[in-house]
Amino acid sequence: MTFVVTSTPGRSRSGPEADERPLADSTSAALHIAGLTLSDTSVGRVGLELEAHCFDLDDPHRRPSWAELRAVISAVPSLPGGGAITVEPGGAIELSGPPLDGPTAAIAAMAADREVLRSVAEEAGLGLVLLGADPLRRAQRINPGARYLAMEQFFTATCTAGAGAAMMTSTASMQINLDAGPRDGWADRVRLAHALGPTMIAIAANSPLLAGTFTGWQSSRQWVWGQLDSARCGPVLGASGDDPCTDWARYALKAPVMLVHTPHAVPLTTQVPFADWADGLVELDGRRPTTTDLDYHLTTLFPPVRPRGWLEIRYLDSVPDALWPALVFLLTTLLDDPQAADVAAEAVAPVATSWDLAARVGLADNRLYTAANRCVAAVADRAPAELSESMARLVHNVEAGRSPADDIADGVIRSGIVPAVRRLARGQE
């Protein structure tokens, strides 16, 4: 198993093409999905993905071109932490680390790789800013990949062009990838990963602005994602949550097909649930689907917790270097340590479905504030010495009821958006 994204956008690693076979119906599709959902493992490995908006240090309004970004990436030496570099549709640069034993090792590897990448980018006159949403520039795609063009066309056809463009080109996240754990604990683990979502969103909210405007949300990134089709971007968790594999299969089959792999990505302009294609109610590309089509379909689903053999935790804004190590340690410990998990499950129960509230007001809500403080208190003393400074800052923020978005907002109000972005791009918080 690997947590590193494939270098070819959109190709799933959940099944080799050599094993491609036709799907008889939606039942066979469900069985295929269920068999790939989670892997029966121990817990402990952690993989990280960190996205940063790329700004011109002298002209933050200017969006660096695709050619510029490719030149920067080609100048990056071999990364000491073993990470891979990719460029998002709007030019955000993503670092994807390999799975390592425990959060401390994963954090150290990501920090080392980020420092190398940051230094090379700075030499090229570019700054990498860890924010959940681009506070200054309007949405614009610069990655010429055919998949992203097709996604644009799909969003336009489904009347979500604005939100789709913002999602692809103006948002950035920190993703934490964790082992699925033993089979008999899957249901509780997946339920907790979802239940923690609103509280963790409130703690990590770091995007009060989008395209030059205060949106009224602490996490504008989450606000953007919330405007997209909930059948593709909403939580997976079923009514009981007792069978994560069945829940994921049901979710995936109900989700409308976004792209047909022909092998080029061709967008759909009508709503066709994958189940209808599998059952022969509709033919796409003049044919019935195969397992490769289904694997590709799974890569176009973006729930906040996505099972890919392991668990992808996708609901966190990209946050500053001073905070993301503590956030990684916090969420990993709350899910991987049984005692901390018990505390967390009880603490977040009252706000387990308050996704929009958390994104809008962050820790200003009393219930989210209480849940966040209980979660942080359960973990803070466990942090190793090398994370003590980051953890201390996180504890201070949560006790004060402040999300990172509050610091961003204060800076913008004090000096304006452009000076605030320029400071962030130069590494000055």
Question: Alpha carbon of 179 to those of 158, 221, 312, 324, 339: distances in Å?
Answer: 35, 26, 9, 20, 18
Q: What is the secondary structure of 296-358 as a DSSP string? A: HHHTT---SEEESBSEEEEEEEP--TTTHHHHHHHHHHHHHSHHHHHHHHHHHGGGTT-HHHH
pLDDT digits (tens, 9 = 90+) for 189-232: 999 999 999 999 999 999 999 999 999 999 999 999 999 999 99
Helix (H) or strand (E) holding 397: helix 388-399
- Third-level CATH fold of 45-239+305-426: Creatine Kinase; Chain A, domain 2 (3.30.590)
pLDDT over 90, % of the chain: 92
Region 58-72 average pLDDT = 97
HSE of 298, CA atoms in CB hemisphere, 13 A: 24
One-letter amino acid for residue 275 of the chain: A
pLDDT at 2 over 60: no
User: pLDDT grade, residue 172 (50/70/90)?
Assistant: very high
pLDDT of residue 263: 84
Question: Alpha carbon of 253 to those of 103, 121, 295: distances in Å?
Answer: 34, 42, 12
The alpha carbon dihedral of 146, 151, 152, 157 has a sign of positive
Q: Tell me the C-alpha distance between 143 and 90, whole Å.
A: 6
Contacts of 409 (CB under 8 A, 6+ apart): 208, 209, 214
pLDDT of residue 19: 74
pLDDT digits (tens, 9 = 90+) for 307-365: 999 999 999 999 999 999 999 999 999 999 999 999 999 999 999 999 999 999 999 99
Q: Tell me the C-alpha distance between 423 and 413, whole Å.
A: 14
pTM: 0.94
pLDDT digits (tens, 9 = 90+) for 96-116: 999 999 999 999 999 999 999
* Vertex 232: Cα angle to 247 and 356 (nearest 5): 95
pLDDT digits (tens, 9 = 90+) for 265-319: 999 989 999 999 999 999 999 999 999 999 999 999 999 999 999 999 999 999 9
pLDDT digits (tens, 9 = 90+) for 403-427: 999 999 999 999 999 999 999 999 9
pLDDT digits (tens, 9 = 90+) for 125-167: 999 999 999 999 999 999 999 999 999 999 999 999 999 999 9
CB 404 within 8 A of CB 397: yes
pLDDT of residue 239: 67
User: pLDDT grade, residue 240 (50/70/90)?
Assistant: confident
